[in-house]
Structure 1
Amino acid sequence: MSEKIKAIITGTTGMVGEGVLHECLQSEKVESVLVINRKTCGYTHPKLKEIIHQDFFDISAIENELTGYNACYFCLGITSVGTAKDIYFKMTYTLTMHVAETLSRLNNDMTFCYVSGAGTNSSEKGGINWAIVKGKTENNLIKLPFKQVFNFRPGIIKPTKGLKYTQPYYKAFMWLFPILKAINKNSFVTLKEMGLAMINTSNYQNERKIVEVKDIKTLA
């Protein structure tokens, strides 16, 4: 793609979002990055702009700052472990769809990349609650008038060394990653590959697809 990427990234105070931001700041394909956070991500860079905004269920106050972008890498999310079903639905489906609906209205040339997860249930029927909610989110994102939508389903993610938001239990089990990769390479992806794959979705046109681990590696 000849056009430079102007990306919005959410969730950059979390491990996945920070990793994607890290790749974007290094990539010559990315011209500018806007991050939206409830608290600062702590990064400064010539092509980085940050908006601090508390209520992601109402982003009307910052709409005028969300235009002119052609990519969104949506890495914001919470764990389902220990979270009530209604809260998980609100923070996963309702929040994501509100932001996505707003961005699709403001930017008709936008590629939207959503971090879902391996095992997501596209049928939205039966099974594990988190997988059903993620499936519903994926299905409805695909219906929005974006130029294209990619629903990423990573499995085990190896963090990028040196980044500050890597979760402690990932650091503790870093030595296991080569073993896990040898056992099942199709469930293993690096955070670097995630970031590069998102950047490279802009090379495509009019795609709406599920991106499994093997696809992430190919895109990267």
Structure 2
Amino acid sequence: MGKTRNQHHIIITGATGMVGEGVLMQCLNSTEIDHILVINRKPCAYTHPKLKEIIHSDFFDFSAIENQLSGYNACFFCLGITSVGADEETYYKMTYTLTMHVAQTFSKLNSDMTFCYVSGAGTHANGRLKWAQVKGKTENDLTKLPFQQVFNFRPGFIKPLPGQKYAHPFYQYINWLFPIGRTIYPNGFCTMAELGQAMINTLSHQEERRTLNGKDIIALAKE
């Protein structure tokens, strides 16, 4: 008799954004993922037998839904805001404080959880740019939480999946650059399918804490 694989029950945040939606689509199509919970402020407009959605407005207070957040062995955290146009206080609150609150809650409720955080290319706690410092601090502090595993993903340009509802409109005009950029600078270009599959493939790893740049994401997706 063959070995029965572990059940993979995952939480996805940010499913109404481009990255979160792409990761959700990849997970819905994956036979490796058995159950998906998405937590959104507004409906994500996807339905599927293995998908459950919780609409919740305050990500700084999960007390009303905390009893629904246990029993999951992974979180694919794709929630975030751009630093463009945001003041330093708002960006810090929505990037560091919010992420850490969500992660601390999940780690308390799910001791065997793998936490995948979508950061960004150029992130560095000691970098020159403020956004890079905030994301770097977030990465570093996530690795200190009592998760089974933590993976910090630093994609650059991401090519959306066909049919994405929440992809930025400008991608339809610049997607032609993708094969050129991938050839010249492969570390800065990955597809949404590669990003989503790389996250799924972390679930076959054990006790890792890693930061993944573009080439690492592509390699992990191929496992």
TM-score computed with the length of structure 1 as normaliser: 0.97
Matches within 5 A, 1:69-148: 69-121=72-124, 124-148=125-149
1:8 equivalent to 2:14? Answer no
What is the percentage of aligned positions where both structures have the same residue?
Answer: 65
Runs of 4+ in 1 over 2 A off after TM superposition: none
Note the alpha carbon deviations across 1:9-34, whole angstroms, 9 max, x for none: 00000000000000111111100000
Distance 1:201 1:126, change over 3 A: closer
Range 157-166 or range 97-106, more displaced: 157-166
Distance 1:6 1:184, change over 3 A: same
What are the Cα deviations for residues 105-161 of structure 1, in whole angstroms up to 9, with x where unaligned?
Answer: 00001000000011111xx33510110000000000000000000000001111111
The amino acid of 2:68's aligned partner reads E
Equivalent runs, 1:176-187 vs 2, <5 Å:
176-187=177-188
Distance of 1:18 and 1:36 partners within structure 2: 12
Does residue 42 of the first structure (1) align with residue 45 of the second (2)? yes
Number of equivalenced pairs? 218
Taking structure 2 as the reference length, the TM-score comes to 0.96
Distance 1:4 1:211 in 2: 25
Return 5+ residue gaps in structure 1 as ranges.
none
| 3-state SS, counterpart of residue 182 of structure 1 | helix
2:20 and 2:152 map into 1 onto residues whose CA distance is 15
Q: Could you tell me which runs of 5 or more consecutive residues in structure 2 were left unpaired when the two chains were aligned.
A: none
Residue of structure 1 in register with 2:196 after alignment: 195
